[in-house]
Amino acid sequence: MKTSFELQEQLASLTEGLLFPSESDYPIEPFVWENMSDFSLDTILQRAEKPLDSPVETTDLAYFFRNVAEEKDWHDDGQKLLVPKYREILNTLTASLKNITVYRIGQTEIDVFIVGQSGKSDAVGLKTKVIET
């Protein structure tokens, strides 16, 4: 089993130069939060450095990646080429982490934190931003 930091390095390699598409495209950045004994919403917001009264919506990983990890009729050639990259990221996360949750923090300019448990006390994940007007 990989350490949290080895997984972070693998995710950094998989996401290098990759942007998550929304109304504006933002980079995808891996992170490690060490010593997470509590995965409550307040702890997630604190680790994400967001106010505790931030609006939060949660979703599952497959739903978050639904438009990028599966080829769609409306994808252009460039988007079709990226589908295997996103699928590999999705597969890596699901194979390496437990209890994965996608936290969408904010409104319109939404900070997204994909957080899963790695080992006994670390959280590993990806963060990006999506714009939804």
Residue 113 DSSP one-character state = E
pLDDT surpassing 80 at residue 1: no
Average pLDDT (115-121) is 89
Q: Do 122 and 103 meet the contact criterion of CB atoms below 8 Å apart?
A: no
Domain boundary assignment for the chain: 4-60+97-131
Domain 4-60+97-131 indexed as CATH 3.40.1460.10: yes
Handedness of CA 18, 23, 100, 94 (dihedral sign): negative
pLDDT tens per residue, range 25-68? 999 999 999 999 889 999 999 999 999 999 999 999 999 999 99
pTM over 0.85: yes
CA terminus-to-terminus distance, the chain: 41
User: What would the two tokens of residue 102 be?
Assistant: 């996608």
